[in-house]
Amino acid sequence: MNQKLLKLEKLLRFHTICRQLHSLSQRRLLAWWKHGSAPASPVWADWLCARPWPTDVLTGSALHQHRLLVTKKEKRPPRSQLSPIKTKKEVEVWVGMTVEELARAMAKDTDCVYEALLNTAIDIDSLEANSHLDEVWIKEVIKKAGMKLKWSKLKLERIRENKDAVRRPGADPALLKPRSPVVTIMGHVDHGKTTLLDKLRETQVAAMEVGGITQHIGAFLVSLPSGEKITFLDTPGHAAFSAMRARGAQVTDIVVLVVAADDGVMKQTVESIQHAKDAGVPIILAINKCDKTDADPEKVKKELLAYDVVCEEYGGDVQAVHVSALTGKNLMALAEATIALAEMLELKADPTGPVEGTVIESFTDKGRGPVTTAIIQRGTLKKGSILVAGKSWAKVRLMFDENGKTVNEAYPSMPVGIIGWRDLPSAGDEILEVQSEPRAREVVDWRKSEQKEEKGKDDLKIMEEKRKEHQEAHRKAREKYGSLHWKQRSYIKYLERKEQRPLKPKEKVERDSNVLPIIIKGDVDGSVEAILNLLDTYDASHECELELVHFGLGDISENDVTFAETFDGVIYGFNVDAGSAIQQSAAQKGVKIKLHKIIYHLIEDLQEELSNRLPYKVEEYPIGEASILATFTITEGKKKVPVAGCRVQKGQLERQKKFKLIRNGQVIWKGSLTSLKHHKDDVLVIKTGVDCGLSLDEENVEFKVGDQVICYEENKVPTKTSWDPGF
C-alpha cells in the first residue's frame, strides 16, 4: 500500500511540474509578443498558442485509471494465468420430491424454491415444506437456479427407528400351562355345521341364523359334561366366505371337517381341506346326517382319499365319527375324539405377561361403538389393558363372552368380545398389549406412516412408469410428424382433436347408463370382506362397468345417501338397517336402498340391477310362414314390380308386421310388404291354406319358386349380465 501511495505522490509532483512549465512558456510567449520580437520558429509558436497542452485532462485521466486499478487489485483475488471454464452445479432429483428435499439437494433454503415458482401456474400459498412437486416444477426450479438436473431412479431410503410393537420371544417352558383347544368347524354350506355346534351347546344358534346359513364367524366356549372345555369357531360354508374360513384355520388347533353323508364332498369341502393343510392343522372328520335313509358314509371316506384325507379305517391318521346333528347321535364321541387329539398335541400357553391374540370378527354397535371378537393366545386380558391391533388401539372398557355376559378376565384359548377401540380394526389383525396409551399411539402412528410410505413408493413407481410411457409416446409422435409438412401436421392434429370432442348430452347419458356405482354397508368386517371378494370376480365390464364408490360398517347414514345421489348409485346393505328418516331422504333424492340378510340374495339383486343397465335384446317371434308357388311381374305406371304368388303353410301373414325371404336356409331379404292381395282385393291378413300375392319394399329382390316367406314380429327382451359369481 505504501508503494502505491509513493507512486501516486510522484505522479502528482510530475503533474505540478508540468503545470509550472506550461505557465512559464505562456508568459515567455506573451513577453515576446509585447516587445515585437518573434521566436526562432513562428509556426511552432502559433501552434503552441492556438493549442495549449491538455496536461490537466491527461493527468486526471491517468490518476483515475490508477485509482481503479488499485481498487480492483485490492478487492479481487489474484487470477491464475489460465481462466477456468464455468460448470453448472449438478443436482440429483427424483420424481415426487418435496419442497424441502429439493431445497436441500440444491443447498439452498426453501424460500429459493418458492421464489423460483412465483409467476407460474402452481399455487404458492398451498405449498408446504412437505408438499410433493411435479416433474415440470422441479425442472423449472433447477432451470431458474442455473443448475444442471440429474434424475435419480428412486428416492434414497431413510433409516428410521422401528417403533412397532412385536410379539414376545418364546415363553419359558416352566411358565407354560395346559389350555383348551381351539377347534374350527368347516365344511360345505348346509352340511349341518351350526346345527352340530348347537347340539353341543344346547342352544338355538341355527334358528337365529338367517335362512339357516352362517353369515360370519361365531366363536363359542363349550363345556362338556366331563369338565373339559373346547373353544369352537363356526365358519361360514358359503362360497362367498373363503377368506373367513382361511382366517379361522390360521388361529385354530384342530379342524372338524363336516361332510353330509347324503351329499358327499363338495367344492367348499375341498377348499376347507386346503385351508387346513396350508395352516398345518390336523383334521377330524365328522360325517353328518347319518340318520337319513340315503346316507352313505363309506362313499364320503372314499371320495376324501382323492384329497389326501385318509381315515383310520383305510390306514390313515384321520379320525372319522358318524354323527347326526339333528338327533344328537355320537356327538359325545366327536367331543371325546377332539379332546384326545388335543391331549396328543399337548396344547399349552403362557398366561402371564402382556396379552397376545387375534381379531376374529369386528363390527360397530350403536350403543357400544367398535366391538371385536378375539381369541386370546398368550397372557391374561383384564379390564383397563391397552391393546394395539392393526392401525387401531383400545383401552379395554368392557369384556363379554358369547352369551353377552360380562367377564373380568380372558385367558388363553378363550373367545371374548372387547369394547373400547378408538377405531375399528380389521378381522385377522394381531392383538398386542402395550405399556401405556402414548406407546399405543406411537405404534399406531408408526404403522400408519409405514403404510403411507409404502403407498408413496408404489405411487412413485407408477409415476415413473407413466413418465416413461409419456416420453415414449412423445418420441413416437415426433417420429410420426417429423417428416410431414407443417400444414399436414396441423391437419392431422385437427382431426385428432375433433375425435376427442366433448360428449353430447345424449352420448353422455348412454355412457352413464353403462356404469353402476354402488355403496356397500355391512354389519361386520368379515361380511363386507366377503362381498368385496365377490365383487373382485366381476368380469363383465365390457357390458356394464361396476364402480365401488364406498364401503363400510354400520347402518346406512345420510352421508351414504349423499354419496349415492352424487354418483347416481345404489346402496346395498347387508344385515344393517336404514331408519325411516334415511329412507324418506333417499326416496326424495331418487336413491335406491336395498337391504338383504342373506349374501346370495344380495348378489342376485346386484346381478338384476346390472342387467337393467344393459340395452334390450331384440328377438324375432314367427307369426306365419308361406311358400312361393309362382312368380310374375305387373306394371304400375312405368315401373315393373315383381310379385310372388304364395300359399300360407303355417299361422297367418299380417301386412303390418315384418317379413323375411329365405332361400336354401339363408336370409336374403328383410323388410316390409308394399302390397298383400287375395285375388284382386287388398287385405291385411291371410290365414293358413289361403293363396295370396305379395310384393316387397325392395324392387331388386328376385323371387324363385320354393322360397319361404316368414312373417314375424320383433320383441324387446331384457338382457342378462354374463357375470357369474360362482354360486
At 710, which CATH number? 2.40.30.10
pLDDT for 205: 43
Work out the average pLDDT over 614-624.
87
Higher pLDDT: 115 or 235? It is: 115
User: What confidence tens digit (pLDDT) does each residue in 182-213 have?
Assistant: 888 888 777 777 777 777 766 434 444 444 43
Q: What are phi and psi of 39, to 5 degrees?
A: -70, 170
Do 189 and 298 lie in one domain? The reply is yes
325 and 414 together in one domain? no
Classify residue 157: in a domain, yes or no. no
Question: What confidence tens digit (pLDDT) does each residue in 99-108 have?
Answer: 888 888 888 8
Residue 695 lies in a domain: yes
Question: For residue 28, which of 19, 42, 39, 17 has the smallest C-alpha distance?
Answer: 39
Whether residue 674 is found in the same domain as residue 626: yes
Is there a single domain that holds both residue 621 and residue 588?
no
Residue 493 has pLDDT above 60, yes or no: yes
**pLDDT at residue number 624:** 92
Domain boundary among 415, 444, 473: 444
pLDDT at 395: 92
Of these ranges, 46-50, 151-155, 217-221, 525-529, the one predicted with the greatest mean pLDDT is 525-529
SS3 category, 11: helix
- Of 293 and 570, the structure prediction assigns the larger pLDDT to 570
pLDDT tens for each residue of 159-187:
566 778 888 888 788 888 888 888 888 88
Q: Give me the mean pLDDT over the 497-518 stretch.
A: 63
pLDDT of 385 strictly over 80: yes
Backbone φ and ψ for 669, nearest 5 degrees, come out as -160, 145
In the chain, the amino acid numbered 208 is M
Please state the pTM of the whole predicted model. 0.58
- Of 650, 664, 653, nearest to 696 by C-alpha is 653
82 within domain boundaries: no
Q: Which comes out higher in pLDDT, residue 56 or 678? A: 678
Cα–Cα dist 127/131, whole Å: 6
Task: List pLDDT tens digits, range 443-452.
Answer: 999 988 888 8
Q: What is the pLDDT of residue 710?
A: 93
What is the pLDDT of the chain when averaged over all its residues? 78
Cα 455–chain centre separation: 11
Query: Is position 33 within any domain?
Result: no
| pLDDT for residue 661 | 92
Grid cell listed for 240: 362367498
Answer whether residue 265 is part of any domain.
yes
Q: What is the pLDDT of residue 89?
A: 77
Interval 657-666 mean pLDDT:
91
In the predicted model, is pLDDT for residue 317 greater than 90? no
What is the number of structural domains in the chain?
A: 5
- Print the domain residue range for 123: 90-151
pLDDT for position 239: 42
Q: Is residue 464 part of a domain?
A: no
**Are residues 656 and 600 part of one domain?**
no
pLDDT attached to residue 215: 38
**16-28, pLDDT tens digit by residue?**
776 766 666 666 6
Whether residues 334 and 196 fall in one domain: yes
Can you give the pLDDT at residue 66? Answer: 52
Write the CATH number for 524: 3.40.50.10050
CATH number of 204's domain: 3.40.50.300
One domain for residues 421 and 333: no
- Of residues 560 and 495, more confidence is placed in 560
- Distances, alpha carbon 671 to alpha carbons 593, 686, 708, in Å: 45, 18, 14
Mean pLDDT confidence for 227-237:
72
Interhelix angle 193-201/331-345, nearest 10 degrees: 90
207 lies in the same domain as 259: yes
Give the confidence band of 646 by pLDDT, cuts at 50, 70, 90: very high
State what percent of residues in the chain have pLDDT above 70.
80
- Residue 65 pLDDT > 80: no
Domain final position from 317, 348, 379: 348
Is the predicted pLDDT of residue 109 greater than 60, yes or no?
yes
- Considering the domain boundaries, does residue 13 fall inside one? no
Are residues 397 and 341 both part of a single domain?
Answer: no
The residue-averaged pLDDT of 133-137 equals 81
Asked if pLDDT for residue 429 goes beyond 70, the answer is yes
Query: What are the residues facing 571 on neighbouring strands?
Result: 519, 593
The reply to whether 344 and 363 lie within a common domain is no
Quickly state the pLDDT bin for 718 (edges 50, 70, 90): confident
Structural domain includes residue 62: no
